Chain A
C-alpha cells in the first residue's frame, strides 16, 4: 500500500547536523507536494516545511528558517530534511507527510510516515 518510511533520526549534540530521509512507495511521488511535521514529546503537531512537486516552491516555519533545508529526489522517490545548527528545542518526532491532491503543497496530508525521533542533547 501507499507508504512513507522515515529514517535518519538519532541523538545529536546542540549545534550539530542531521539529515532525515523519507522513502515513498506505491504512489507517483513526483506529482505531490510533501511536508515535514514534528511533535515534541507530549506536545501537539507543528508543521516544519513543505516542498512542491518540482522543488520550485519551499516554505519553512520561522523557527527553522536558515537552519533546515527541505529537498527531494523524484528519481529516488525520497524526501529529505537537512537540519543544521540543531537546538535542544528541535527535539521531536519528525513525520513526513504527503499532500492529498495538490502539487504545490497547500492541502490536507493524507499519508504520514511512522516518524523518526530526533533528540538534541549535550
Chain B
C-alpha cells in the first residue's frame, strides 16, 4: 500500500497570504496524483489532477507541482472561501487507492 503523508496537519493563514501544502508518497506515483478541497458538510471537490492540471472551474490562484514522491499545492492570495481541508490522493497503484490524512487550512 502506498502511504500518502501530508504536511502540515494544520496551516493558519490570513486572507491575502499565500499557502503551501505538501504531500509525500511512500513510493513513486509518477504524476498520478490529485488534490481535493473539502468544506464542512460538503463532498470533496477536485482541484488538481495529473499532479499539475487544474480541474474545470478552479480559480487560477490554485497551482500545483511535483512528480514521483513529492508534491505541492500552492494557493496564492488565499480567499475566505478557500478555508477547509485539503487532501492529496494517489491513483497510480491499487488497490488501494490512497488519500493523505488531510491538511486543514484555517483563518489565522
Structural contact, B46 and A62, CB atoms closer than 8 A: no
Interface size on A, residues (CB 8 A): 22
Contacts of B50 in A (CB 8 A): 108
Q: Which of B38, B55, B89, B95 contacts A61 (CB 8 A)?
A: B95
Q: Which of A44, A61, A95, A106 contacts B32 (CB 8 A)?
A: A106
Contacts of A110 in B (CB 8 A): 46, 49, 55-56
* B: contact size bracket: 20 to 34
Residue of B nearest to A47 (CB): B97
Q: Chain A contact residues: over half helix, strand or loop, or mixed?
A: strand
Interface presence of B34 (CB below 8 A): yes
Contacts of B99 in A (CB 8 A): 44-47
Interface residues in chain B, defined as those with a beta carbon under 8 Å from any beta carbon in chain A: 32, 34, 36, 38, 43-46, 49-50, 55-56, 87, 89, 91-92, 94-102
Minimum CB–CB distance for A105 against chain B, Å: 8
Contacts of A9 in B (CB 8 A): none
Given the contacts A106-B91, A108-B89, A109-B34, A50 and B97 also touching, CB distance less than 8 Å = yes
Given the contacts A61-B96, A62-B96, A45 and B32 also touching, CB distance less than 8 Å = no
Contacts A/B (CB < 8 Å), 11 sampled: A37-B44, A44-B87, A44-B100, A46-B99, A47-B98, A59-B95, A59-B96, A100-B46, A109-B34, A112-B45, A115-B43
A69 vs B88: C-alpha distance when bound (angstroms): 26
Structural contact, A47 and B46, CB atoms closer than 8 A: no
